[in-house]
Amino acid sequence: MKELAITRFTQIYGHAPAVLARAPGRIEFIGNHTDYNGGTVLGAAIDLGVWVAAAPAPAGLLHFATESQRGIVTVPVSAAGKQVGAQRWVNYPLGVWTSFREFGWRQPDGLEYLVCSDLPVGAGLSSSAAIELASALAYLGLTGGNPAREEIVKLGRHAENNFVGVPCGILDQGVSGFGRKNHLVFIDCRGPRFETVPMPAGAHFWVFNTHTKHALIDGLYAARHRECMEAARGLGVALLADLTPAQLEQKRALLPEVNYRRAKHVIEEIDRVARVQVALASGDLASVGRLLTASHRSSQTQFENSTPELDFLVETLSETPHVYGARLTGGGFGGAVMAFTDAEFSASGAAQVADAYAFRFGSRPDVLHCETGDGAARVDF
């Protein structure tokens, strides 16, 4: 991807880029919709990601191109507002550019930009956060800024919340920013505080991308966010992370049934994150797997952000040898399922699961055997 980014940038703009940056996609290991509720999450940066090549341009114009679409989208600095239609993808790098000013950082006065990716879009692997972090690092390479990694992560989230319009928490940007090979990333989202946790030897991630709808901005994600905030207000707390499962049950009568179920998922999910940490520390991967599958069951029945396709994959994987557990990964409402397996689970086993899915739904999911990877960084070339 490095050479492709340099070559395509040169073909489009007539000269080599000045800077190159890369940010990985991420797997949400456990902690579904807990981040914006002030909870805890575990995720892993993977070895697939987004590459951004950039160079300065004459002041006043921002030029954006992508390997996946023809042409250049030119946005005047004087009218750098939200894009619509086929140009919507520009809102991610443009939102980052806009956020530089809001964070008091120097913006590139003019910009030539190209993004390339080997990360499947819509698979719940957070291509959006990867674009945001790679863009931020590329812009900093042009302007000479050097903020702390925590601030870059916060800026990426700010861009997605306030420019793109998705009320996400810090999970996606945090894992992409702080990823480390052979490690998980733990985030206490209230801080936020970031740590890395060693991955047990012999554990593997397999991702099954259903290609079903995964568009967080279409309102479903925002609706769950709203229901969680309503539940917190109804329970008399600032955030759902302020309550334990037992305390929620004591206050159940304060909430409408829907908001109670949303709160139940989030509060119990935070508890599952803590139990997974304990199980990982002791090497009890069977318990980790059971907690991952329990997380999916809660998404299915309490948070209602699963789909029949995702449920089928989890059911099938749960009955497959060498699979510790499985759950949807990402915001839900389509996308992908992550399977946590031992080293004996193979491509042939994954193919059998994909065959069963194809027999049931008429199309095959893409299967990715993901390795952990390092976090976002500028790349020398």
Cα–Cα distance, 147 to 141 (Å, whole number): 11
* Alpha-carbon distance values, 276 to 32, 288, 310 (Å): 13, 5, 22
Neighbour-count burial of 85, counting CB atoms closer than 10 A to its CB (0-12 exposed, 13-18 middle, 19+ buried)? exposed
For helices 171-178 and 127-143, the axis angle rounded to 10 degrees is 60
374: left (phi over 0), alpha (psi -120 to 50) or beta: beta
Q: Is 172 a catalytic residue?
A: yes
Q: Which of 35, 172, 271, 342 is catalytic?
A: 172
Q: Give the number of other Cβ atoms within 10 Å of residue 322's Cβ.
A: 13
Tokens of 344: 């004996």
Neighbour-count burial of 3, counting CB atoms closer than 10 A to its CB (0-12 exposed, 13-18 middle, 19+ buried)? exposed
Tokens of 88: 């919507």
- Largest Cα separation within the chain, whole Å, is 66
Tokens of 335: 């996308």
Closest CA to 304 of 40, 39, 42, 33: 33
Cα–Cα distance, 361 to 358 (Å, whole number): 5
CB 109, CB 77: distance < 8 Å: yes
Q: How is residue 115 annotated by DSSP?
A: E
In the chain, % helix, strand, coil (3-state, to 5) comes to 45, 25, 30
Pairing between strand 61-66 and 111-117? parallel
**Would you name the residues annotated as active-site residues?**
172
